[in-house]
Structure 1
């Protein structure tokens, strides 16, 4: 009976929303060792991210909607033990890549646990929690992938761009949870800036990210790739503007359904873009 809620709370499909960072790093590799790439993908998207989701659910004991689950089940004790096993497996498999990569994965896991653990609970601090997510899900993940795929001389620009992308995406994922977070003693960055402010913050962070990406693609002599990215971003921007208008008129539109649609559209478009860029780079 515990198997179904345990699997649900891993939120494996939610890993799709985090895939653009991995695919971006992959798309910028000059040559790809596909065996290692698959191992890194499995470590991040089948072990690390789902375990992080599950641990957060166990600590929060959510009763309202969470990312990917409108009606989450109660988190059983077995879920905690599963996250420990998954974390150990992630570090173990990371050793196949290298010890330094395994240490990086271990650091990511520690940061994730500090974010959720009731004794530390970084997520209750709006700026510190926000910075933790932006750094580790953005630039640090690009760095981990670059350790495997190869580090270019323009690595820092790429990492910074990904951090700003996460900085734009993350507040939007919090926008429908204000009441639940308030009841749990958590104050998110979205709560600090408000509903309209969340959209404005996203616009600003994405604008900075796009400027950095333009500079990055200029530096790597692949300007056309920037314009390919803009083409893929059109559906994302269109839905974002549509949703922003709805929320401007009625704050009730800042709900779970619109948030998940926004996440899905953005993930499909950005994942598709970076798959195309991977193909172009590997066939150039």
Structure 2
């Protein structure tokens, strides 16, 4: 029932690129517990995100490259059911922590389903889909992870010390999100999906992302300085340096020859560089902020 093609569409390795948000939440959570850390990590990155990937792939039926798959295989009904099984497992794992965390996983999953489901298909609406995707993959996920890691409930969404760093992650994603769509204009327009990148155009997408990347740097700098964490500020800026340099080189070549340089490979290398740099930084920040190494 579950063909190999269905497993490919889950794109489990792609969850690596969302790991920085988990480590950021882990760095700030006050109640560390080994079992909860493992449950939240696995529920989010091995089941919830892959479930979302598979479910949206089933309804998108992409024929050209998508994030994490250069040549996506044809989808089958088995992919639909496999994505729901993964979704159910993530909720069950969340319930082991507490009922409220399980409902957060449920809400995230339902919103992600609305992204591609034909009844709603948020993907058709450029600014709405951009805002909701960035909000839920960023701030909502941060607060959800914080709640699960600390065995808290929905009240964390009303706590400024949780919501503020969560919103910083959304600002970062609002900058990078249009870039993930920049090479899919032809296929999106065929389906009638007017993505934000398609609406902005190739050059407009790069300029839009550059503004949000600048805002990200300013806001994260303020966050670390406000906490008197100068070392963390410099660490963050160093992590962002290869990302910004790659972005500038890519933008330069994209303006010269968009057909040659605006493609799957350039987007995936942007993801790899930013994912690796930010994961390294936020793992270090977790170790530094919690002083775990000193305790050991």
Q: TM-score range by the shorter chain?
A: over 0.9
What does 1:1-284 correspond to in 2, within 5 Å?
3-150=3-150, 153-252=160-259, 253-283=261-291
Residues 206 and 251 of structure 2 are in contact (CA less than 8 Å); yes or no, is this contact kept in structure 1? yes
Kindly indicate whether the alpha-carbon contact (under 8 Å) linking 1:157 and 1:212 is maintained by their aligned counterparts in 2: no
Q: Quick check: 2:94–2:148 contact (8 Å CA) kept in 1?
A: no
Any idea what SS the aligned residue of 1:62 has? Answer: coil
Residue by residue over 1:127-161, the C-alpha shift from the partner in whole angstroms, topping out at 9 and shown as x without a partner, is 11111101100100111012134567522321111
Q: Which moved more, 1:140-149 or 1:179-188?
A: 140-149
* TM-score for both structures, normalised by structure 2: 0.92
1:25-71 Cα offsets, whole Å, 9 max, x none, are 11223452122111111111111110111011100111111101110
Q: CA deviation at 1:221?
A: 2.5
Change beyond 3 A, Cα 1:2–1:85: closer
Structure 2 residue ranges without an equivalent (≥5) = 151-155
Deviations 1:48-97 (A, max 9, x none): 11011101110011111110111000011011111111111111111111
Indicate the SS of the match to 1:170.
Answer: helix
Q: Deviations over 1:241-275 (max 9, x none)?
A: 11010101111111111000111011000001101
TM-superposition CA deviations, 1:202-241 (whole Å, max 9, x none): 1111222222212221232223201101111111111111
Unaligned runs of 5+ in 1: none
Looking at structure 2, the residues matched to 31 and 215 of structure 1 have their Cα atoms a distance apart, in angstroms, of 25
For 1:95 and 1:30, locate their aligned partners in 2 and report how far apart those are by CA, in whole Å.
Answer: 20
Give the count of matched residue pairs: 284
Where 2:63 maps in the other structure, the secondary structure is: coil
Q: Is the 8 A contact 2:5 2:75 kept in 1?
A: yes
**CA displacement at 1:192 relative to structure 2:** 1.1
Aligned to 2:153: none
Q: CA contact under 8 A between 1:33 and 1:149: conserved in structure 2?
A: yes
How many angstroms apart in 2 are the aligned matches of 1:215 and 1:41? Answer: 28
Instruction: Determine the C-alpha separation between the residues in 2 that align with 1:2 and 1:41.
Output: 24
What is the root-mean-square deviation of aligned Cα atoms in Å? 1.5
Give the Cα separation in 2 of the matches to 1:170 and 1:36.
Answer: 29
Q: Give, in whole Å, the separation in 1 of the partners of 2:60 and 2:191.
A: 8
Query: Kindly tell me: are residues 130 and 11 of structure 1, through their superposed partners in 2, closer, same or farther at Cα, counting changes over 3 Å?
Result: same
